[in-house]
Structure 1
Amino acid sequence: MNQKRLTFIAILGSALLLLGALGFQYLGGLPPCKLCYWQRYPHVLAIIFGIIYSYTSIGTIVFIPAVAAFSSAGVGAYHFGIEQEFWPGPNTCSSGSINSMSTDALIEQIMSAPLTKCDEVLWSFLNISMAGWNTIFSAFLGLLWISLFFIFRQKQSAD
């Protein structure tokens, strides 16, 4: 497969992940939590710098979408671990213990709480949540961007 086609597939992958998340949010009625948003932002960077990479001859710029994809995968893995109760999530994003909280602190937490908690799984497929699927696909996209760098280097050394 050629470099342009792989670049297009990598950009399309991030775009489809974003569109899927927005579809679940706006069409499916599944409100995202704070970590869900954090998984989206790197894909925007990957798309922007992927487009820049596809129109320039700057090979090292490909590391920006690679790092972005791996960042989204990392946040997704962290989020998935919270959902599976491997570790606790941020206090502002998880259903934590209220035993040691004062009444005023509890009321403040309730009033400032986001609509969706990070430890709640709103949708899953094959027992893997959206955060888990994002982890898998984002890690794959990160590897694809790294392979594009090596293709670029090989092409440069051949010229």
Structure 2
Amino acid sequence: MLNSLTPQRAALLIFIVAFVTIAGAWIFEYYGYLPCELCLKQRWAYYVGVPLALLVSLVGPHNPQLAKAGLMLLAALWLGSMLFGIYHSGVEWKWWPGPATCTAQAGFSGGLPDLTKPAVLCDTPAIRIFGLSLAGWNAVISLGLSMVAVAGLRRAQGSSSVSQ
């Protein structure tokens, strides 16, 4: 199925899935599942990836070189997002330490905490769905988006080598 994705459809699929994912994160936040510092940093990939995927899907059919470059960038972006999601999941499972500023061991070394904001710890997941925290689901979704970008890129490279 992924092998039949054109670069334009791959970028459009990435746009839709990434947009729905970040919208889901905002909905969880609205209903009281506040994000920690690492959760907010994981969103950066979506803030870059959503408009980039839309741009590639719209401009890509008219500019195959731009489509290839955009899909390469999207593949790298989502792979990085996956690694960051794995890192955050490991912090939540206590496999390795997280940033001192947002874990249960956080002290006052950076000064007094901001008491106007609720404390959200990075090593305590807000919710688990089918055994995975939202950071874990970010890793899974990001891997899938990276695979879609690579599939679109393969199709783009295959079509250009046939036309030569």
Within 5 A, what are the aligned runs for 1:42-53? 42-53=45-56
Answer 1 or 2: higher relative contact order, Cα 8 Å, separation at least 6.
2
Within 5 A, what are the aligned runs for 1:1-150? 1-3=4-6, 4-26=8-30, 28-54=31-57, 55-56=59-60, 57=63, 58=66, 59-96=68-105, 105=108, 108-111=111-114, 115-150=119-154
Residue ranges of structure 1 left out of the alignment (5+ in a row): 99-104
8 Å Cα contact 1:94/1:117 also seen in 2? yes
Measure, in 1, the Cα distance between the counterparts of 2:111 and 2:139: 33
Question: Structure 1 106/41 Cα, relative in aligned 2: closer, same or farther at 3 Å?
Answer: closer
The one-letter code of the counterpart of 1:78 is Y
Measure, in 2, the Cα distance between the counterparts of 1:89 and 1:53: 35
SS in 1 for 2:101: coil
Deviation at 1:115, TM superposition (A): 2.2
Deviation at 1:97, TM superposition (A): 6.5
User: When the two structures are superposed, what TM-score results if normalisation uses the length of structure 1?
Assistant: 0.86
Deviation at 1:111, TM superposition (A): 4.1
User: When the two structures are superposed, what TM-score results if normalisation uses the length of structure 2?
Assistant: 0.83
Measure, in 1, the Cα distance between the counterparts of 2:20 and 2:14: 10
Residue ranges of structure 2 left out of the alignment (5+ in a row): none
Q: Deviations over 1:49-71 (max 9, x none)?
A: 21222213221221111122112
**Cα RMSD (Å) of the superposition?**
2.0
Measure, in 2, the Cα distance between the counterparts of 1:19 and 1:107: 32
SS in 1 for 2:103: coil
The one-letter code of the counterpart of 1:22 is W
